[in-house]
Structure 1
Amino acid sequence: MSLRGPDTATGARWVPPAGRPPLSARMIRATWRGLPVKRFDVGREAGLVVPAADGSPLITDHYFPRAQGDFPTLLVRSPYGRGLPWAPQYGLLFAEQGFHVVLQSCRGTGGSGGAFDLWRNEAADGLATVAWLRAQPWFTGALGTVGPSYLGYVQWALATDPPPELKAMVVQVGLHDPHGLFHTDGVLRLENALAVGIGMTYQHQGLRPFLGATVRLRRRLRSVTTAEPLRGSYAATLGREIPWLDDVMTHPDATDGHWRGASPAEPAEGPRVPTSLISGWHDVYVDQTLRQYERLRRAGCDTALLIGPWTHTSALQRGWPEVFAESLAWLRAHLCADPSDLRPTAVRVHMGGANAWRDLADWPPPAAVGAWFPTADGHLTEQAPTDAAPVASFRYDPADPTPSLGGPLLSGTAGPRDNRGLEARDDVLTFTGPPLTEPLDLLGPVLARLSVSTDTGYADVFTRLCDVDAQGRSVNVCDGLGRLRTTGDTPAQVTVAMSATAHRFAAGHRIRWQISGGAHPRYARPPGTGRPRVDATRFVPVRITVHADSALLLPRDAEAGGGAVS
């Protein structure tokens, strides 16, 4: 078979070079199971130079099927280099299925020229790359984008002013709101900020520098995250000061001018590029994914949603067969006019606790929201209180901050964990319901409506939903954090979004509501004084009191019904 493809503009025929994908990519390809059968052998052009919007050279690798014919193109732009895992997962696997794959290092990374500046150049550089594609003899005019995390952000940036060739996007565990990555309710998401700093600084340099920096941070994490002041404490461990990281850490207010134009979420609604959204229930970006799905559906965009039992990293590891199949089906449907592998419903979610998938017409599905209330004896009941009396209190000490455990993080410590050790601490309250006599299915957003007083006027409240099995093992389902500002003994009312879930509490299991004053180092410690967290040098313990009119709001599956308790 000829390996020549026609140049549709000139009639000349393109002769693919003899290059092959790197050996490391081919070796990793051999280790995966459950992937589609390879359709084509793959070639590679390495080190192509594409001019950025300002003329800086963007270093680019081109993977292609070694076969005759016209194939659509996928653009994958990354600040993390073009080696592992991007070469095998995107360059090799998608080219095997019949796509040209253009894998490019963002400016200032992976050998590309210019200086990396978080989020500010991606729209212009993406459009410049598409302009370069138009001049390539193998480019047919059918373009899709795919990729995870920041590789999802660059897709949203391109979609703010989409080129006419852009026919499909697949955003996997992806980012669209940088402020939401670094802050929650004005509270610095400290561990994630440090993880992003390492990834952006070292990952494009290769595996050894990246792993070295990761190990250094893990060893010194406590000293870095409890430094007084916090500002600049990471520099010795990460080996340098990172101006953009300082900027994001010191601008907690979403309305600050620093964040103007950072999120392409709303501008990207208008063009209505068909978009597949993929996330995991313990992915750090799951809330952003769900918000984006709601926006796109409201705008009438062709949109699909897949939420699996994954963290940010496990979606691209043990979840990769499902993620790849979902991505491939969407791209074939919109770039190759082959919808045969699309599922019939817009939404598929994994039910935690049941280890089963649910196909849904939309998200969130109809639900009956039920309220559960705390009692002074540590129980959780559906009977509403008759007053707003205090039910329990605890002392949060910044010198011994309540530790974080699992949940939606960028690190390998993310996900569901046994919370019993955490719940044994004096600074963690738990309220536990009776054993369920039949399964209870939750589908949708979980909220905590808290009535809380403090003795200093300033505090955080971290609230978590857990599933307690018959042996007493307490596993986190979802959680959230909010800031408190109280006056005197008067309770403050605050509603905390605890993300969303699709989870079955089995018969015999119990619902547990966990409340504490923080989760460190996932979130920066509250100083108890109202001072900015990155500059605080004085930390004051705070007593936090929870009142009876607080409520945990749970979305019961309207189709499945109740979930009776004994």
Structure 2
Amino acid sequence: MTPHTRGGVSGATDGGAGTTWVAPPGKPPLSARMMRATWRGLPAKRYEAGWEPDLEVPAADGSLLRTDHYFPRAEGDFPTLLVRSPYGRGVPWSPMYGVLFAEQGFHVVLQSCRGTGGSGGEFHFWRNEAADGRATVDWLRDRPWFNGALGTLGPSYLGYVQWALALDPPPELRAMVVQVGLHDPHALFHRGGALQLENALLVGSGMTSQHRGFGPFLRATLWLRRHFAEMTRALPLRGSYVRGFGGEVPWLDEVMSHPDAGDPFWQGASTGGAAATSRVPTCLIGGWHDALVDQTLEQYGRLRRAGCDTSLLVGPWTHTSALQKGWPEVFAESLAWLRAHLCDDPSGLRPAGVRVHIGGQGHWRDLAEWPPASAVGQWFPAGDGRLIRQPSEATVPLAAFRYDPADPTPSIGGPLLSPAAGSRDNGDLEGRPDVLTFTSEPMNEPMDVLGPVAARLRISTDTGYADVFARLCDVDEKGRSVNVCDGLVRLPTTPAHPLEVTVPMSSTAHRFAPGHRVRLQLSGGAHPRFARNSGSGEPTLDATTLTPVRITVHGGSALELPQVRAER
């Protein structure tokens, strides 16, 4: 590690260059200070924040990366946080990361990724982040205020750039905080063989507009909403986004056009391997209705197997609400981790390595690890719509429905990137003729389900082309059905006889209270969350023919729930 003479507001001298850094007098931007004033329930600030905007950091290829520097206005030896974003450096990033963490005693380097927010070069979803992150650390080493202690921080794609840097971590990197974070772009756009259409459009719109400022982002969001239905129902689907976006987005075309994770196109895209060998203490934060919760849990498992110091917090949040309603908990968790590993102050750490919110009950549970030890309970669909504990005969058809892609089964709530995510009343959805439900008797005692949920189904179709969407729901005493977790798989081309298929339904931490019932919901899709299966066998983006399909569920199917002892 390169030694430096450190400093806060007063001049600080770099021993090698002999230069002195004098903190500029500017306050953080007014928009950041106004948003900062609206937050409640956060720790008291320790320092006033200063701001040094529009610094130019040379990227790996010499392109200039626009960078803002926030700092505490005080004498002292302060560590540095690196926050790299493709979404610009204004609201909400400037107050949430620049101002708040500078007030707590950190230098914060907030940087626009190449091709965004005024930075040079051309943006690509994954090819440049590792090299540009290393180039930024090289630049930091020559700053007179850099004391050699570095942490990284941020949500969503701001998590991806952290994992990219951690593939070959610099020696100064001592802590990471990945909030509702991404590491596998393929899994963001494709799941179970189907295109996650809504995710793709939201990411495309955000990536092309948000870094230009709030006004352009708001106009793009309203324009997308106006044209969303026609974009998602167009035949063919390829290029249908252009009108809503106001132009072509080549990288979006590419990621939508390559559904196979093994395609050479995706080589080098996933940064998940960073966790498999990491020694950088890492705090992971997720939400049960976040579109990236599976990625958060995957990385937690890799870090644990690698013996890395890690913590996990999963709340009752969506991708967006984690940084809104959940921000007091997310900020406190992040701050405690960074102070422990960058400031040698572990006083804010909780004793348990894992804390999860239990849905249906509204309380938190501390655990030694995730998932906890559990017994897999099996619940079996019956021909009369019940969900029972005894398996039915494997050769017996239980129920069937007709899926028509011209009137696709709609998506309601669930793990999305949009504000429409989360638990929703599924009553109208379950009233459709193309949705099957299998429901248990009321629970006599509480049942806690913690861990990965799956549906093991025996399915046949009359055309061979279909998707199966499976959802776990909690039905209360009044009959209100609320989604807990779900998943979808595209069936391989199937003959008429039953095929056994497993539908991974993500993970959850949920309590079924006494008097509530367990429900398994099955359908042929969830549109526009997933692009509809045309039923014709044509590629998703190029299909022009819509063919209905009859889907039959057979005996021998089962819902698998990881059950643990319910705490009082």
TM-score (norm 1): 0.98
Question: Is 2:15 the partner of 1:9?
Answer: yes
Alignment partners' CA distance in 1, 2:20 and 2:363: 50
2:149 maps to a residue whose letter is A
Which of 139, 163, 186 in structure 2 is aligned with 1:156?
A: 163
Alignment partners' CA distance in 2, 1:220 and 1:154: 31
Question: Is 2:105 the partner of 1:105?
Answer: no
- SS of residue matched to 2:348: coil
In the alignment, what sits opposite 1:237?
Answer: 244
In the alignment, what sits opposite 1:478?
Answer: 485
Alignment partners' CA distance in 2, 1:8 and 1:559: 58
Q: Deviation of residue 119 (structure 1)?
A: 1.0
Which of 367, 376, 384 in structure 1 is aligned with 2:391?
A: 384
> How do residues 50-129 of structure 1 correspond to structure 2 at under 5 angstroms?
50-129=57-136
C-alpha distance 2-233 of structure 1, shift in aligned 2 (>3 A):
closer
Q: Deviations over 1:355-397 (max 9, x none)?
A: 0000000000011110001111111001111333111000000
Alignment partners' CA distance in 1, 2:324 and 2:69: 24
Structure 1 gap segments, 5+ residues each: 562-566
Alignment partners' CA distance in 1, 2:440 and 2:122: 54
- SS of residue matched to 1:280: strand
Alignment partners' CA distance in 2, 1:233 and 1:264: 30
In the alignment, what sits opposite 1:344?
Answer: 351
Which of 522, 525, 528 in structure 1 is aligned with 2:532?
A: 525
In the alignment, what sits opposite 2:470?
Answer: 463
- Preserved contact between residue 486 and residue 492 of structure 1 (Cα < 8 Å): no
In the alignment, what sits opposite 1:48?
Answer: 55
In the alignment, what sits opposite 1:361?
Answer: 368
In the alignment, what sits opposite 1:550?
Answer: 557
Which of 20, 23, 30 in structure 1 is aligned with 2:30?
A: 23
Alignment partners' CA distance in 2, 1:217 and 1:33: 32
Alignment partners' CA distance in 2, 1:433 and 1:351: 21
Between the aligned residues of both structures, percent identity stands at: 70
2:119 maps to a residue whose letter is S
2:35 maps to a residue whose letter is I
Alignment partners' CA distance in 1, 2:535 and 2:135: 48
Alignment partners' CA distance in 2, 1:474 and 1:442: 17
In the alignment, what sits opposite 2:3?
Answer: none
- Preserved contact between residue 159 and residue 271 of structure 1 (Cα < 8 Å): yes
2:480 maps to a residue whose letter is R
Question: Is 2:437 the partner of 1:433?
Answer: no
Alignment partners' CA distance in 1, 2:505 and 2:443: 22
Alignment partners' CA distance in 2, 1:158 and 1:388: 53
Alignment partners' CA distance in 2, 1:386 and 1:243: 51
In the alignment, what sits opposite 1:564?
Answer: none
In the alignment, what sits opposite 1:293?
Answer: 300
- Preserved contact between residue 56 and residue 113 of structure 1 (Cα < 8 Å): yes
Q: Deviation of residue 48 (structure 1)?
A: 0.4
Alignment partners' CA distance in 2, 1:170 and 1:97: 16
Q: Deviations over 1:316-344 (max 9, x none)?
A: 00000000000000000000000000011
Which of 490, 498, 519 in structure 2 is aligned with 1:512?
A: 519
Q: Deviations over 1:71-108 (max 9, x none)?
A: 00000000000001000000000000000000000000
Alignment partners' CA distance in 1, 2:426 and 2:390: 26
- Preserved contact between residue 279 and residue 309 of structure 2 (Cα < 8 Å): yes
- Preserved contact between residue 284 and residue 310 of structure 2 (Cα < 8 Å): yes
Alignment partners' CA distance in 1, 2:408 and 2:494: 23
Question: Is 2:497 the partner of 1:490?
Answer: yes
1:90 maps to a residue whose letter is Y
Question: Is 2:386 the partner of 1:406?
Answer: no
Which of 258, 264, 283 in structure 1 is aligned with 2:271?
A: 264
Q: Deviation of residue 214 (structure 1)?
A: 1.3
- Preserved contact between residue 485 and residue 492 of structure 1 (Cα < 8 Å): no
Q: Deviation of residue 242 (structure 1)?
A: 0.3
Which of 281, 285, 288 in structure 2 is aligned with 1:274?
A: 281
> How many residues are matched?
561
Q: Deviation of residue 268 (structure 1)?
A: 4.1
Which of 151, 173, 178 in structure 2 is aligned with 1:171?
A: 178
After superposing the two structures, state which structure 1 stretch, 356-365 or 385-394, moved more.
Answer: 385-394
Question: Is 2:325 the partner of 1:318?
Answer: yes
After superposing the two structures, state which structure 1 stretch, 113-122 or 484-493, moved more.
Answer: 484-493
Q: Deviation of residue 486 (structure 1)?
A: 4.7
Alignment partners' CA distance in 1, 2:567 and 2:98: 43
Q: Deviations over 1:254-281 (max 9, x none)?
A: 0001100001111443232110000000
TM-score (norm 2): 0.97
In the alignment, what sits opposite 2:4?
Answer: none
- Preserved contact between residue 278 and residue 306 of structure 1 (Cα < 8 Å): yes
After superposing the two structures, state which structure 1 stretch, 69-78 or 216-225, moved more.
Answer: 216-225
Alignment partners' CA distance in 2, 1:28 and 1:219: 28
Q: Deviation of residue 12 (structure 1)?
A: 5.8
Structure 2 gap segments, 5+ residues each: 1-6
1:321 maps to a residue whose letter is P
Alignment partners' CA distance in 2, 1:33 and 1:345: 26
Q: Deviations over 1:203-244 (max 9, x none)?
A: 001111111111122122121111111000000110010000
